[in-house]
């Protein structure tokens, strides 16, 4: 796929990937051999009819392809950009056994963009209303996909969002250069056109509890609040000025537009000509370090305790980060942040690691090398080692079942919780995962909520 030149994009927040042209899309679609049993669909958590939409692209019927896609996925422009297709549908593509698999994700993005840019996002016609009301807590990918399915099943749907903007992690967690906000907004607007009601600045657990929603005439509640509580390293010096969690850093930059301070009210650490270290190896770490480069960092490091083979980030994100000049310091673990007399971060003590036997995650365990410590001068550190569940729902809805990390326990087939009429899905159930897995959970919950509402009738 054509993309912005690395040197040029290092200084802007415009999208890196530029998308297929019509000709490239058709050529790529013609690589699909239209398998009688398309294994690619098995790899898609929301069951998009991949072979059918690709056949329409090959014929040049791009709007028909968009319609086919939206039978199973109402957020295709988002998924086409951020889903890890290389681990899902594309890894199952038959063509991939001998050659590059068909670029399913890029074709998905193409048809969604084609529709939006030519005729605007069209919404399907709706079934007769059932008179049932469902409250969805959280407007991230799980909540949005659940809302899209339930409204098409004829139910009234209200989505409650804690922040002032809709989209959850799609808005605050993923930077503009990977997922433009305008695209998220337009796909959410299409749900509004279908009749989904959205309420922002509503923190369920504070403004209303789950029980109050049920008492206020909602027939079912779907909890999809994500995983918004950042983990820290728990090492000395983590409270110094200049040490952030990725969650805070990304929220300041992505949601509050701190990169345009003082035009926007929220500031963020001034990275210009500074040394920035991001600790972690996932997509969030890549997003964070690439933002710091765009904010002018002189040296921007990824510091990760295993090797690049074990890195959980998408290969494409690692590749883009390297192209943009990010330096990878692998097999290295931070021991201590060191500050000056005024409490500002100045350096980090790093210990080198080597890989041992695989641990419970299946990845080789990092083992410290004694006497290998050294000091790396840095001005800003961002901890990007994952998120846990926010405790607000647990505190105010104690009669749900939770695991020891505060994730809600559900029946995996139906997403039903232990409380009648209450369902849950996405990161609040699984812990931090991918956008498409959260969407799959949202769709599964929508089907189960529909069955539940019918049975209650």
Site of interaction with ligand SF4 (CB under 6 A): 32-35, 38-40, 50-51, 54, 93-95, 102, 104
| Least distance between ligand SF4 and beta carbon 54 (Å) | 6
| Distance of closest approach, residue 426 Cβ to ligand SF4, in angstroms | 27
Report the C-alpha gap between 226 and 168 in whole angstroms.
8
Q: How far is the CB of 337 from ligand SF4 (least distance, A)?
A: 47
Q: How far is the CB of 416 from ligand SF4 (least distance, A)?
A: 33
Cα 155 to Cα 142: distance, rounded to the nearest angstrom: 17
Task: Say how many CA atoms lie within 13 Å of 360 toward its Cβ.
Answer: 0
| Comparison of 4 and 39: residue with beta carbon closer to ligand SF4 | 39
289-292-293-297 Cα dihedral, nearest 10 degrees:
-120
Q: Which is nearer to ligand SF4, 31 or 199 (CB)?
A: 31
Q: What are phi and psi of 392, to 5 degrees?
A: -60, -45
Task: Kindly state the DSSP code that residue 258 receives in the 8-state scheme.
Answer: G
User: What are the φ and ψ backbone dihedral angles of 435, each rounded to 5 degrees?
Assistant: -60, -45
Phi, psi of 345 (to 5 degrees): -60, 135
- In whole angstroms, how close is the CB of 69 to ligand SF4 at the nearest point? 13
Rounded to whole angstroms, the Cα distance separating 238 from 241 reads 9
Maximum CA pair distance of the chain? 71
For the CB of residue 35, give the shortest distance to ligand SF4 in the complex, in Å: 3
In the complex with ligand SF4, the residue whose CB is nearer, 35 or 229, is 35
3-class state of residue 425 by DSSP:
coil
CB 15 within 8 A of CB 4: yes
Q: Which is nearer to ligand SF4, 49 or 364 (CB)?
A: 49
Quote the radius of gyration of the chain (alpha carbons, Å). Answer: 23
**Beta-ladder partners of 301:** 277, 327
Residue 87 exposed, middle or buried by CB count within 10 Å (0-12, 13-18, 19+):
middle
Instruction: List own/partner pairs for 361-370 with CB under 8 A and 24 or more apart.
Output: 363/306, 363/310, 364/306, 364/307, 364/310, 366/305, 366/306, 366/331, 366/333, 368/333
Nearest-angstrom CA–CA distance, 420 and 456: 11
Q: Is 87 or 197 the residue whose CB approaches ligand SF4 more closely?
A: 87
Copy the structure tokens of residue 343. 């409490």
Closest to ligand SF4 by CB, 84 vs 143, is: 84
Q: What is the smallest separation between the CB atom of 60 and ligand SF4, expressed in angstroms? A: 17
Cβ-based nearer residue to ligand SF4, 51 or 450: 51
Least Å distance, CB 23 to ligand SF4, is 19
Distances in whole angstroms, Cα of residue 431 to Cα of each of 10, 128, 180, 185, 339:
32, 36, 25, 25, 33
Instruction: Indicate the residue among 29 and 151 with the shorter CB distance to ligand SF4.
Output: 29
Q: What b-and-e string marks burial along 243-266, b requiring 16 or more CB atoms within 10 Å of the CB? A: bbbbbebbbbbbbbbbbeeeeeee
- Least distance in angstroms from the C-beta of 28 to ligand SF4: 10
Q: Least distance from C-beta 63 to ligand SF4, angstroms?
A: 20
Rounded least distance, CB 46 to ligand SF4, Å: 15
Residue with tokens 């990010």: 326
Closer to ligand SF4 by Cβ: residue 51 or 389: 51
Whichever of 51 and 152 has its CB closer to ligand SF4, that residue is 51
Polymer length of the chain: 457
Smaller CB separation from ligand SF4, 92 or 320: 92
> Could you tell me whether strands 380-383 and 327-329 are parallel, antiparallel, or unpaired per DSSP bridges?
unpaired
């Amino acid at each position: 796929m054509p993309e912005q030149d690395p040197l040029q994009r290092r200084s802007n927040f415009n999208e890196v990937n530029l998308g297929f042209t019509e000709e490239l899309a058709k050529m790529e679609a013609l690589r699909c051999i239209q398998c009688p049993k398309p294994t690619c669909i098995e790899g898609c958590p929301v069951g998009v009819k991949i072979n059918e939409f690709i056949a329409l692209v090959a014929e040049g019927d791009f709007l028909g392809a968009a319609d086919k896609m939206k039978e199973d996925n109402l957020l295709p422009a988002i998924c086409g950009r951020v889903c890890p297709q290389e681990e899902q549908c594309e890894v199952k593509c038959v063509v991939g056994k001998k050659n590059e698999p068909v670029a399913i994700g890029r074709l998905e993005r193409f048809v969604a963009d084609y529709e939006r840019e030519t005729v605007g996002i069209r919404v399907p016609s709706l079934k007769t209303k059932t008179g049932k009301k469902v409250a969805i807590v959280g407007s991230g990918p799980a909540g949005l996909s659940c809302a899209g399915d339930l409204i098409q099943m004829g139910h009234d749907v209200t989505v409650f969002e804690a922040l002032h903007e809709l989209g959850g992690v799609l808005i605050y967690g993923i930077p503009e250069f990977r997922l433009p906000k305008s695209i998220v907004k337009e796909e959410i607007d299409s749900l509004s056109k279908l009749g989904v009601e959205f309420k922002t600045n509503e923190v369920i657990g504070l403004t209303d509890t789950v029980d109050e929603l049920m008492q206020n005439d909602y027939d079912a509640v779907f909890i999809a609040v994500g995983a918004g509580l950042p983990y820290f390293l728990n090492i000395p010096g983590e409270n110094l000025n200049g040490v952030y969690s990725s969650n805070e850093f990304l929220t300041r930059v992505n949601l509050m537009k701190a990169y345009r301070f003082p035009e926007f009210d929220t500031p963020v650490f001034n990275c210009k000509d500074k040394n920035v270290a991001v600790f972690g190896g996932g997509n969030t770490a890549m997003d964070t370090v690439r933002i710091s480069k765009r904010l002018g960092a002189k040296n921007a490091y990824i510091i990760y305790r295993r090797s690049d083979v074990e890195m959980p980030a998408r290969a494409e994100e690692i590749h883009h980060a390297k192209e943009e000049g990010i330096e990878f310091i692998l097999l290295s673990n931070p021991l201590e942040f060191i500050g000056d007399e005024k409490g500002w971060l100045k350096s980090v003590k790093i210990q080198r690691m080597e890989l041992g036997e695989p641990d419970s995650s299946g990845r080789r365990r990092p083992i410290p090398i004694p006497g290998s410590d050294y000091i790396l001068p840095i001005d800003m550190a961002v901890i990007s080692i994952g998120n846990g569940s926010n405790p607000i729902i647990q505190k105010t809805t104690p009669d749900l079942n939770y695991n020891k990390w505060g994730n809600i326990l559900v029946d995996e087939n139906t997403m039903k919780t232990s409380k009648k009429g209450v369902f849950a899905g996405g990161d609040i159930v699984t812990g931090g995962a991918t956008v498409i897995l959260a969407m799959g959970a949202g769709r599964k919950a929508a089907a189960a909520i529909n069955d539940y509402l019918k049975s209650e009738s």
